[in-house]
Structure 1
Amino acid sequence: MSRTHIRDFHGDDLDQLVRLWGAVTDDAQAPIYSLAEVIASCQADHAIVAMRDQELVGAAVGRAAHAQGWIVFFGLAVPDPDGALAAGLLDALERRMAALGLAKLSALVPESQGLGPFTDNAFSVHRSVRYLERAMPVQRRELDTLKEVGGRILPRNLWRKVAGMTQEKTLLEERLVTPLARPDLAERFGVVPPRAVMLFGPPGTGKTTFARAVASRLDWPFVELFPSRLADGGGLAGALRSSFEAIADLEHAVVFIDEVEEIAAHRGGTPPSPTQGVTNELIKQVAEFREHDGKLLICATNFVRALDAAFLRHGRFDYVLPIGLPDADARRAIWSRYIPAEAVTRVDVDLLVEESDGLTPADIEYAARRASQDALARSLREDGADSVLGTTDYTRALAGTRATVSPEAIAEFTADIETLARL
């Protein structure tokens, strides 16, 4: 009878280990760790194999994270009625990893795989544990590229933090997020996932906030391109081209350009404007950007009328979406963010919501901070004698707050929705 020999994994064993992984993987249930992860651990972490007549008949692969060890693959290609082969592999792997000072050695096992090899070797089953996982939004090979273009991963809760603005959020959810996050559903209804969208509206209405929220909702890297910074290294057109070429190497990305009218204004005139070449390059880059799946370009402008007609036409931007002043729910959420918890019961928030109609989020923040500062100054002057922060402080601050958006600008925005919006 052939003798089974247990030893460390060698590079020459890789082909046989891949075949073993395929043989023991249940087609009906995805394995906990992918083949790529198992191979990476074989090469960089810890792997033990069982050999019989030059044939690989078993393997145990592990990796360590701080004081926690994980078995990323365990499989046998031959019967093991007495459990000796399983015990030998697990013991050898444990000895190999014990030098790392592990406090625990753990295993995640698919429901279709028997637990005997583990329970027979002193592993405890935690019945109340459920396995959860999520794919990292940026893979290791993309980190340098993301850093090069100044991108980052945003917190995943930004979408929920955009309170109120129900109409705008519904538009973005239906037009952008769902088709990109669920392409199978989009295909079912014949919806083509968007590639580029323009957000327009008065200054301070939250266009940047919405762009970041979309990236957060998709769990995609957020890359903001600042034309003024791109120009620091020389020609702006060349810098734009280089940035978009680098972004093309990312699997997913939300690319954001704010105040895009600075580099995409109406062309023409004699002589041509200095930015005409930049506008031409940006139009070219938008067309090429649209050829890549898994990416979304969001541009924002305060002056949609100033944009070059060729830049804004159909075929370049899928949607041109208006972002207006905060509605009542949004204003309430903004006020609640700045009113101290101990003062809420003394403040008529409904009144503040009504009185702040027509203000931007930044205007409301200014009024709230001014009210707090004035109340603090009054308390210091009065030596703290029964001085509290109340509704009057906020209404007084509102009275001294100049609205960023004028009635004329609101009228222009309303007209632009009628003539330029594409919903």
Structure 2
Amino acid sequence: MAQWRIRDFHPDDVDGILHLWEELRSTEVEPVYGLAEVLASCEKDHAVVAVRDDVVIGAAVGRAAHAQGWIVFLSTSVAWQRRGIGGAMLAALEKRMAPLGLSKLSVLLPDAQLRTDAFAAQGFEAKQNLRYFERRIPVQRKELGPLAQLGGRVLPRGLWEAIGGMGEEKDLLERRLVMPLAQPDLADRFGVVPPSAVVLFGPPGTGKTTFARAIASRLEWSFVEVFPSRLAADPAGLAGALRQTFTRIADLEHAVVFIDEVEEIAVQRGGEPPSAMQGVTNELLKIIPTFRDQPNRLLVCATNFIRALDTAFLRHGRFDYVIPIGLPDAVARESIWRRYIPQQAAAGVDAAQLVARTDGFSPADIEYAARTASQRALEEALSTADRSPDEAEGPSHAHYLAAIAATRATVSPEVAAEFLEDIDRIARV
């Protein structure tokens, strides 16, 4: 749990901005923008602050001019530097300015300002011999309308890095998908054709959706999730709505398109009389080759039941890879646990034992157990009459063990064994 948080600027934060301003000047760095400009942008444009116990310890201020955004002030209190606060504030500010449809974010820095790591970490690049940084906004203004109609969005940066453990899966996806798509010119030099469509398969709750979202975040492409259940209500019917959806996706410059539980619309064909879903499967099989002809696109289909998919659906030429996503290993389980254990309670928790006790748990199972332990600890703290809830340190190791014991693993040994068989028979990596 972070010791600080980021929120929008409030008028009461002016004194905190003044303190940061004076602290910055005391280091012999004269800000590019005057104090009056910074304060005016705080009130009229866009600003976020980092706070600890309601004390302002950092601020980021931006303004927009046509299609370009400018960072007019970024400062973190000296005592709180080198903790990632500057980068987090820049990311939060960019998120708040995203609806403006900016094509780039830029910043001018005084020559005396030596520390630029926060800008570099957020993808800003130095230009020529000037201390000038700018960051290209991957999704252009003209795409925002079609993206909104599709129910798509631009995901926050950092989702890829946030996936703990799962090293083999991340390395495979990085090499097979992300690298060729992110560096198409380099891939072309080696004769590598960037992938256009992949299937992720594995037991329920193993993180297939998380990986699809993380790939879009890593590439900084628009993310569009197609929900067959919603399309089924369209007057054009499921097959027609599916075709219309992919036609609109063609208006996007870059896109990761995600279909979860794809077995719903790509079932095995056959039988007499033919099922109503066979027409939908046929339509999807027609859509994929057209989709593959469009550059800067990636279709990610996920399924818990790879055996239920139509055999023609998985053949070479439609999907570049069929990649298994299994249960988290020990390293991944530890990373997941540490994500949910509050910082103030961590010292009293034996994470290694939790990892050992949750062998065979999916990420979703671990999250459920962790949240159950926190909820029970909170209820106990509120119901204890002899002390204030503020004195409680959070969930204990015993709370986590009890929650694990009460959590039924989503993936049975039989399902896990079938998954290993599917890897041998179906996986294509």
Q: TM-score normalised to the size of structure 2? A: 0.68
Equivalenced residues, count? 308
Cα distance change, pair 172–64 in 1 and its aligned pair in 2 (3 A):
closer
Task: Give the structure 1 partner of residue 183 of structure 2.
Answer: 182
Task: Give the structure 1 partner of residue 214 of structure 2.
Answer: 213
> Are residue 401 (structure 1) and residue 407 (structure 2) matched?
yes
Query: Contact between 1:212 and 1:222, CA under 8 Å: does it hold in 2?
Result: yes
Query: Contact between 2:107 and 2:133, CA under 8 Å: does it hold in 1?
Result: no
Cα distance change, pair 305–107 in 1 and its aligned pair in 2 (3 A):
closer
Q: Distance in 2 between matches of 1:351 and 1:69?
A: 49
Cα distance change, pair 417–64 in 1 and its aligned pair in 2 (3 A):
closer
Q: Secondary structure at the match of 2:198?
A: strand
* Pair member with larger Rg: 1
Q: Distance in 2 between matches of 1:69 and 1:225?
A: 31
Task: Give the structure 2 partner of residue 11 of structure 1.
Answer: none
Query: Contact between 1:225 and 1:257, CA under 8 Å: does it hold in 2?
Result: yes
> Are residue 257 (structure 1) and residue 259 (structure 2) matched?
yes
Amino acid at match of 1:368: A
Q: CA deviation at 1:188?
A: 2.1
Alignment of 1:103-142 (within 5 A): 130-142=131-143
Alignment of 1:183-202 (within 5 A): 183-202=184-203
Task: Give the structure 2 partner of residue 391 of structure 1.
Answer: 397
Q: Secondary structure at the match of 1:133?
A: strand
Q: Distance in 2 between matches of 1:64 and 1:135?
A: 14
Q: Distance in 2 between matches of 1:182 and 1:371?
A: 44
Query: Contact between 1:266 and 1:307, CA under 8 Å: does it hold in 2?
Result: yes
Task: Give the structure 2 partner of residue 240 of structure 1.
Answer: 242
Q: CA deviation at 1:306?
A: 0.3
Q: Distance in 1 between matches of 2:64 and 2:147?
A: 27
> Are residue 358 (structure 1) and residue 360 (structure 2) matched?
yes
Deviations 1:329-358 (A, max 9, x none): 221121112111111001101111111111
Query: Contact between 1:378 and 1:387, CA under 8 Å: does it hold in 2?
Result: no
Amino acid at match of 2:324: P
Q: Secondary structure at the match of 1:329?
A: helix
Cα distance change, pair 380–174 in 1 and its aligned pair in 2 (3 A):
same
Q: Return the match for 1:273 from 251, 272, 275.
A: 275
Q: CA deviation at 1:64?
A: 7.6
Task: Give the structure 1 partner of residue 149 of structure 2.
Answer: 148
> Are residue 160 (structure 1) and residue 166 (structure 2) matched?
no
> Are residue 303 (structure 1) and residue 321 (structure 2) matched?
no
Query: Contact between 2:165 and 2:335, CA under 8 Å: does it hold in 1?
Result: yes
Q: Distance in 2 between matches of 1:339 and 1:367?
A: 11
Q: CA deviation at 1:272?
A: 0.3
Query: Which segment drifts farther, 373-382 or 264-273?
Result: 373-382
Q: CA deviation at 1:382?
A: 3.3
Q: Distance in 2 between matches of 1:325 and 1:107?
A: 43
Q: Secondary structure at the match of 1:194?
A: coil
Query: Contact between 2:202 and 2:303, CA under 8 Å: does it hold in 1?
Result: yes
Q: CA deviation at 1:207?
A: 0.3
Cα distance change, pair 280–376 in 1 and its aligned pair in 2 (3 A):
same
Cα distance change, pair 292–65 in 1 and its aligned pair in 2 (3 A):
closer
Unmatched tracts of structure 2, length 5 or more: 1-62, 71-105, 109-127
Q: CA deviation at 1:128?
A: 10
Deviations 1:279-329 (A, max 9, x none): 000000011101111100000000000000001101000000000111112
Q: Distance in 2 between matches of 1:64 and 1:282?
A: 42
Q: CA deviation at 1:187?
A: 1.5
Deviations 1:175-203 (A, max 9, x none): 00000000122122221100000000000
Query: Contact between 2:107 and 2:132, CA under 8 Å: does it hold in 1?
Result: no
Q: CA deviation at 1:381?
A: 3.8
Q: Secondary structure at the match of 2:299?
A: strand
Amino acid at match of 1:250: L
Q: CA deviation at 1:376?
A: 2.5
Identity %: 66
Q: CA deviation at 1:133?
A: 1.8
Deviations 1:14-47 (A, max 9, x none): xxxxxxxxxxxxxxxxxxxxxxxxxxxxxxxxxx
Q: Distance in 2 between matches of 1:376 and 1:182?
A: 48
Task: Give the structure 1 partner of residue 30 of structure 2.
Answer: none
Amino acid at match of 1:255: V
Cα distance change, pair 266–343 in 1 and its aligned pair in 2 (3 A):
same
CA-based RMSD of the aligned residues comes to 2.5
Task: Give the structure 1 partner of residue 41 of structure 2.
Answer: none
Q: CA deviation at 1:390?
A: 1.6
Amino acid at match of 2:185: D
Cα distance change, pair 136–380 in 1 and its aligned pair in 2 (3 A):
closer
Q: Distance in 2 between matches of 1:107 and 1:418?
A: 52
Cα distance change, pair 421–69 in 1 and its aligned pair in 2 (3 A):
closer
Task: Give the structure 2 partner of residue 292 of structure 1.
Answer: 294
Task: Give the structure 2 partner of residue 84 of structure 1.
Answer: none
Cα distance change, pair 64–196 in 1 and its aligned pair in 2 (3 A):
closer
Q: CA deviation at 1:387?
A: 6.1
Cα distance change, pair 128–174 in 1 and its aligned pair in 2 (3 A):
closer
Deviations 1:88-120 (A, max 9, x none): xxxxxxxxxxxxxxxxxx998xxxxxxxxxxxx
> Are residue 320 (structure 1) and residue 326 (structure 2) matched?
no
Cα distance change, pair 128–179 in 1 and its aligned pair in 2 (3 A):
closer
> Are residue 412 (structure 1) and residue 418 (structure 2) matched?
yes
Deviations 1:211-231 (A, max 9, x none): 000000001000000001111
Q: Distance in 1 between matches of 2:392 and 2:211?
A: 39
Task: Give the structure 2 partner of residue 282 of structure 1.
Answer: 284
Amino acid at match of 1:186: A
Q: Distance in 1 between matches of 2:353 and 2:69?
A: 58
Query: Contact between 2:198 and 2:301, CA under 8 Å: does it hold in 1?
Result: yes
Q: Secondary structure at the match of 1:246?
A: helix
Q: Distance in 2 between matches of 1:170 and 1:272?
A: 42
